[in-house]
Amino acid sequence: MLTRRTLLLSATAALAAPPARARAQDLDLATAFIDRTATDLANAVNGSGSIADRQKKLQAIVDRTVDVNHVARFCLGRFWRTASPEQQKEYQELFHRVLMLNITGKVGEYQGVSFTLGAAHAREEGVAVSTVVNRPGNPPSKVDWLVSTETGSPKIIDVMAEGTSLRLTQRSDYSAYLASHSNSVQALIDALRQQATQPG
């Protein structure tokens, strides 16, 4: 028999649960976002400008579509809490610079790239939108883009290439580096600074 307390709890749970339509809206929002982003990326990489021009366009797209600070904090894991505010700030700045160097430095390798949009699936942290990346002379590769829609403004928070999470891989690399350097966040910052100042 349902008591008044049970009814109140049931009603509260029903109100707290996201409606099915809201989840469908998140899927549609994330799918449209990745569709636009993939088109912008292909146009930037395949453009007729110089390498420098295409790198500049690519950097603008990444800045606009990726939640770089979120990814940076995720990659540092539990060490984020042990870093000082000054270290957190410098780490995020260096993470951003190294990420951009890694992405824009390969712009010439992706000439002729195209994307085929696939299905979207709800995940715990957001929506994963599947794509197939086609590059001349290379077999098609599956790439999933994890999109957070929490703020209503979609942002990419992970990229999964053939099932491998790039941010999980990066966090594992950072964790291994920190473990071999006395868990010193400053040592990692110094290593990132060196990467950020190396020529492309």
Instruction: Give the residue-averaged pLDDT of 134-142.
Output: 93
Is residue 163 one of the residues assigned to a domain? yes
Cβ 189 vs Cβ 91: under 8 Å:
yes
Q: What does pTM read for this prediction?
A: 0.84
Here the CATH number for the domain that contains residue 142 is 3.10.450.710
Residue 21 has pLDDT above 90, yes or no: no
139 is in which domain, residue-wise? 20-197
In a domain, 4, yes or no: no
Tell me, what's the pLDDT at 199? 60
pLDDT at 50: 87
Task: Give me the residues paired with residue 66 across strands.
Answer: 156
**DSSP letter (8 states) at residue 108:** G
CA distance 11 to 40: 45
Greatest mean pLDDT range, 24-33, 40-49, 108-117, 175-184: 175-184
Q: Rounded distance, CA 50 to CA 168, Å?
A: 33
Identify which of 131, 122, 115, 125 has the alpha carbon closest to the alpha carbon of residue 157: 125
134 within a domain of the structure (yes/no) = yes
Name the percent of the chain lying above pLDDT 90.
Answer: 71
Residue 48 DSSP one-character state = S
Distance of CA 166 to the CA centre of its chain: 8
* Domain assignment present for 172: yes
**Domains contained in the chain, number:** 1
Six-digit token pair at 36?
């636009």
Residue 200: pLDDT band with limits 50, 70, 90: low
- Would 7 be classed as within a structural domain? no
Q: Is residue 139 part of a domain?
A: yes
Rounded average pLDDT over 40-52? 91
Q: Is 94 exposed, middle or buried (0-12, 13-18, 19+ CB in 10 A)?
A: buried
- Per the CB < 8 A criterion, the answer to whether 159 and 170 are in contact is no
pLDDT digits (tens, 9 = 90+) for 54-96: 999 999 999 999 999 999 999 999 999 999 999 999 999 999 9
The DSSP letter of residue 18 is P
Average pLDDT, the chain: 88
Q: Could you report the per-residue pLDDT of 179-196, keeping only the tens digit for each? A: 999 999 999 999 999 999
Domain annotation covers residue 9: no
Which position has the higher pLDDT, 10 or 48? 48
In a domain, 154, yes or no: yes
pLDDT above 70 covers a percentage of the chain that reads 88
